Every structure is written in structure tokens, then in C-alpha cells.
Amino acid sequence: MLDAVLPLVASPIVFRDALIVTQDASRRVERGDVRVDGGRFTSVGGRAEPEGAEVIDAKGFALLPGFINTHGHVAMTLLRGIADDRELSGFLETLFAVDARRTESDVQAGALAGIAEMLLSGTTAFLDLYYFEDAVARACERLGIRGFLGWAVLDPELTTQSGKPLDNARGFIDRWARHDRVTPLVAPQGVYVCGQETWLGAKALAEEKRTLCHFHLSETRKEVHDHEAKTGARPPVWLDEIGFLGPSMVAAHAVWMSKREVEILAKRQVGVAHCPSSNLKLATGGIAPVVEMRAAGVHVGLGTDSAASNNSLSMLREMHIAGLTQKNQRWDASALKAQELLDLATVEGAQLLGRANDLGSIEVGKQADLSMVRLDHPTLLPARPEALVSHLAYSASEEAIDSVFVAGECLVRHRALVKVPWQTVRLEAEAAARPLWERP
């Protein structure tokens, strides 16, 4: 029931009589029990053995795999609303000016606020691209989320970072390489600030350290045309020609893509983080060819991008908008069905992160990252099993998410953060935002 006492640590748990959205290979939605031991699912469906476990009456809830946000800049949460109603070039002009004044402490405060927002809306893992990522990593530690954190890399002469960006990325990866919930990686910014040497250096570092490589790609028509004028090739083609593209890479946006470029990404096993809300708000034009990419074999996840360009970090909202834009663009109401949208936010996201074996679904042996969703919430009415996936994709409010777990540890309990009170997070964020909003 809603007044159930939820454990604060990853002790054994039995969720009794829940409606389970498994996201397994059969996409089963069924009523039953779920048991968690040692932070992993040990029993899914049927009647679970309660011995030694905290038993939670989950009859009034659905259990849902934690959402996986595959692209963002979480520390930019302090900049929500600072550059609204401008196209990308004007937006970036403001953001670059503010970025030059940022400190490690305000990056941490912004990351805390963004992570809190994500946890409260059911996200349990996210892929990030920024600098001062040690501060973001510490914020992940404080609140308990899984962070896949990419240190932003660009040409040395174009950066405001102290030292060489590739060296900074290497140091960051070494410092956090053995952390339980922080996975460090290298993140070249994009073709507009990275030359061939930087791209290939980033790839070499990722291969040496066996990390993911995350980058922006073909977000705007101007980016594509400028790069083609400079090099004679569109960004994906050029990156392939210089030998950069390959597995364990996640490209964000991929809006302005030709059929040939989609085929290149599929052949090179490059995943794509689709960020519809951010692209729409910045008026980048065009709609990412998600349907065509998936048909070609490209793994596609969902990303919110930052709160400065979205302005929300809700994956529920992102699913909804992703579905509407694809349907409308194609004059096809069957494009990206509800189940496919939920896949993008869970199992496909896990695939992009190279963690399909232990994240993205409620299955025995996987990490117990999940949300408890209130079935009595108005946005889930009627709460029928056959309609639940549709409700999640098209109507569910973040307020329906009651409690959130990562590795079986309760991080949100009845809409309240467990590790750090929201009031503490909010006050730190407000204080850190103040100097950033004061125009120099």
C-alpha cells in the first residue's frame, strides 16, 4: 500500500502482488511477486519466497524498469530558462559565455539538482557529456544514481578547460574506473570543435581504457553544411573516412541523416540517442529518422539533452514527444508504437550503454533498477494491464512515480529523495545559479 515502509538499503526485498512490466524478450506484463537479493532480481512473477526479506505490499503499483537517459548535460540544470526561444547558434552563444564562468562547485550543485529531477521521474541511469565531470560523479555518489559520464574533449586551442582536454579525460577515467555506479568515458564534443587528431585521439583513448565514446552528430542542417563545405563530406561520412566510427559509440541527435549515413552507422554499430524535445525547442528543423535507423539495425535510445534546451529531464515526456513527432512526420499513426517507445527508454538504452545483460528490464540476474508506479494516479486510468504500456508512453505523469530503486537501494520513497533532502539540493542549486544568471 502507499504507506508501506520501504527499505533504505539494498537488503532483500519482496514486492508482493505487483503488476510487473518486465520488458523481457516477450514484453510480459503480469501480476506477481518480485524478489531482490544483493541488489539483483532473483525471482520475477509467481509467488516469491519471503524469508529474510522486507515484504512490500505492491498490489496498488506497477513495477517498471528504471529509465535510461542516453544523452544530457546534467549540470546545466542551473541554466534552465537562461536562453529560451533562440535557435541553436544564439542558444550556444549564451551558453558558451556562461560556461566560461562555471566552477567545479556550481557544476556539482547543478548536477545534484538534475539528478534529483531524474530520480523523481523514474530515471535510474544517464549518459552525460560535460567537463568538471568529477563534480558530476560526486553528485551521483551523493544521490545514488548510475552515471555514465563523458569528459568533454575538443581541440586544445578551442577549450576553456585547464590543460589538454584529452589528458583531462584520461585522468578522469583513471580516477573513477573502478566505481560501482559511476562509469567514466571519453566524449568528443562535435565536428565543429574537434579536428581529425582530436577525434582519433578520443577513439584511441576509449579503446585503450575500454570505455564508451559519446559525441554530438548532425544535430543541425548548418552543422552538416558547414562541415561539408570545409571537408567535402557530411559529418558521418567524414568520421567514417578518417577511421573514427565503430562499436561502443553513442551519437547524440543524428537529425540530418541521409540513407547512406544511416547505413554507415548501422554497419559500424554506432548507437544513437534521440532527443526530440531539445531538437524541437531549438528549431533545428527536420525530424531524426528513428524509424529508418531502427529498421537498418541501429540501436536507438532516448535522451532529454539538458534542462537548458529541453527544459525537462522527464523520460516520460520524452517518450510522448518522440512518438508524436514520428507519427506526424510520416502521416502514420502506427510509427513508433507505445511498446517501441518504452523500449527506447529502457532496453534499447541499456543496449547503447553496453549493459543489455544487466540493465533495462526486470529479469532474474539483472540489476534491481526499478520504479514503483501508482496505479491509482489519474493519468493511468483505467489501470488495466493491456493498457499500461500505452499509458506510460502517452499519458503518465511523473507524479505517478512513487518510489525508485537502484541496485535494490531505495533512492526515492513516496516522492521524497532518500539520501539528500530536496530542500538541501534546491538551496545549493539556487545559491550556485545566482552568479551564473548575473550578466557580466
CATH number, residue 373 = 2.30.40.10
Residue-wise pLDDT tens digits, 348-399: 999 999 999 999 999 999 999 999 999 999 999 999 999 999 999 999 999 9
Mark whether 259 and 344 lie in a shared domain.
yes
Does residue 431 lie within any of the structural domains?
no
What does the mean pLDDT of the chain come to? 95
pLDDT class of 440 with cuts at 50, 70, 90:
low
Mark whether 343 and 394 lie in a shared domain.
no
**Single residue among 327, 352, 377 that ends a domain in this structure:** 352
Q: For residues 130-149, give the mean pLDDT.
A: 97
Q: For residues 131-149, give the mean pLDDT.
A: 97
Residue-wise pLDDT tens digits, 208-240: 999 999 999 999 999 999 999 999 999 999 999
Residue-wise pLDDT tens digits, 10-37: 689 999 999 999 999 999 999 999 999 9
**Single residue among 302, 333, 352 that ends a domain in this structure:** 352
pLDDT at 93: 85
Q: What string of DSSP letters covers 173-228? A: HHHHTT-SSEEEEEEE--TTT--HHHHHHHHHHHHHHT--EEEEES-SHHHHHHHH
Which is higher by pLDDT, 327 or 93? 327
Residues spanned by the domain of 118: 67-352
Instruction: State the residue for C-alpha cell 532516448.
Output: 302
* Helix orientation angle between 104-120 and 133-143, rounded to the nearest 10 degrees: 40
Q: For residues 110-134, give the mean pLDDT.
A: 98
pLDDT at 183: 98
**Can you say how many angstroms the Cα of residue 165 is from the centroid of all Cα atoms in its chain?**
23
CATH number at residue 281: 3.20.20.140
Mark whether 194 and 129 lie in a shared domain.
yes
Mark whether 338 and 380 lie in a shared domain.
no
Query: Which has the minimum average pLDDT: 53-57, 100-104, 294-298?
Result: 100-104
Q: Which residues pair with 215 in a beta bridge?
A: 251
- What residues contact residue 352 under an 8 Å CB cut-off, 6+ apart? 68, 70, 127, 250, 271, 272, 273, 299, 300, 301
Residue 335 has pLDDT above 80, yes or no: yes
Residue 412 has pLDDT above 50, yes or no: yes
Q: For residues 238-244, give the mean pLDDT.
A: 98
Domains identified in the chain, total number: 2
Does residue 439 lie within any of the structural domains?
no
Measured in residues, the chain has a length of 440
Residue-wise pLDDT tens digits, 258-292: 999 999 999 999 999 999 999 999 998 889 999 99
Does residue 252 lie within any of the structural domains?
yes
Residue-wise pLDDT tens digits, 71-91: 999 999 999 999 899 887 888
Residue 9 has pLDDT above 90, yes or no: no
pLDDT class of 3 with cuts at 50, 70, 90:
very low
Mark whether 336 and 300 lie in a shared domain.
yes
In the chain, the percentage of residues whose pLDDT exceeds 90 is 91
Does residue 150 lie within any of the structural domains?
yes
Does residue 432 lie within any of the structural domains?
no
pLDDT class of 1 with cuts at 50, 70, 90:
very low
Does residue 7 lie within any of the structural domains?
no
pLDDT at 98: 87
Mark whether 265 and 127 lie in a shared domain.
yes
Mark whether 206 and 266 lie in a shared domain.
yes
pLDDT at 82: 92
**Single residue among 302, 317, 352 that ends a domain in this structure:** 352
Q: For residues 313-317, give the mean pLDDT.
A: 98
Mark whether 148 and 203 lie in a shared domain.
yes
* DSSP category for residue 158: G
**Separation CA 427–CA 424 (nearest Å):** 5
Does residue 24 lie within any of the structural domains?
yes
pLDDT at 216: 98
Mark whether 365 and 333 lie in a shared domain.
no
Residue 2 has pLDDT above 50, yes or no: no
Residue-wise pLDDT tens digits, 88-102: 788 888 888 888 889
Mark whether 373 and 281 lie in a shared domain.
no
Mark whether 310 and 383 lie in a shared domain.
no
Quick one: cell of 16? 508482493
Does residue 156 lie within any of the structural domains?
yes
Mark whether 81 and 102 lie in a shared domain.
yes
Residue-wise pLDDT tens digits, 167-180: 999 999 999 999 99
pLDDT at 6: 53
